[in-house]
């Protein structure tokens, strides 16, 4: 994993990783505290700040990510380009750009805010709960990918029609359709009517 200023500040001086903290928020997205990442996802879940990124190529195809099999939460399922959690005090935009680079080895050539969505999605497979206030971002990717195999199992660029077919075959993350639907207005503005998003 690339070392960035954000990850350096979250490593212990002896080289071991500190517990990853998430920013807890109220229903309006106002910060009210922090919690350790895994505990925030234990039932019933604690509402925390998250982000979801949707990147498209020049043909208007969405970049999907299959989560690596070694991930503790939703391993092996397909999802949006990148998703995660800002560190406490980190701007969601900065976190989205950072994690896109860390996971996929690429920096978006354009990244724009696309609103927020709040949801509560239990994951029946893991027993964990996604209780999130999610900041959405859409953008373009115009350079070759270099995925981190510890984070990403596979990638695929898909049209809207191809996504509908793939989604019917599954499996996709529990949150995928919620964040996609919330981001659709911004996606349509970015990709234009011919992409049919």
Q: Known catalytic residues?
A: 83, 132
For 88, residues 6+ apart whose C-beta sits below 8 A from its C-beta are 21, 22, 23, 31, 34
Q: Are 95 and 194 in contact (CB under 8 A)?
A: no
Q: In 94-197, which ranges are E strands?
A: 110-122, 129-140, 152-158
d(CA 187, CA 61): 11
What is the CB neighbour count within 10 angstroms for residue 130? 22
């Amino acid at each position: 994993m690339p070392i960035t200023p954000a990850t350096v500040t979250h490593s212990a001086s002896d080289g071991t990783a500190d517990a990853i903290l998430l920013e807890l928020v109220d229903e309006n997205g106002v910060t009210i505290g922090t919690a350790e990442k895994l505990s925030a996802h234990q039932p019933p879940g604690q509402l925390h700040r998250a982000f979801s990124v949707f990147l498209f190529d020049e043909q208007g195809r969405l970049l999907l990510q299959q989560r690596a099999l070694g991930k503790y939460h939703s391993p092996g399922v397909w999802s949006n380009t990148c998703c995660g959690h800002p560190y406490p005090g980190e701007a969601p935009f900065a976190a989205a750009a950072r994690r896109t680079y860390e996971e996929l080895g690429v920096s978006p050539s354009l990244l724009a805010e696309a609103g927020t969505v709040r949801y509560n999605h239990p994951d029946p497979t893991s027993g964990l709960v996604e209780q999130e206030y999610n900041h959405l971002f859409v953008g373009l990717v115009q350079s070759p990918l270099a995925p981190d195999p510890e984070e990403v199992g596979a990638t695929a660029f898909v049209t809207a029609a191809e996504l509908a077919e793939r989604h019917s075959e599954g499996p996709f993350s529990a949150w995928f359709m919620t964040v996609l639907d919330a981001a659709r207005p911004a996606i349509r503005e970015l990709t234009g009517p011919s992409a049919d998003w």
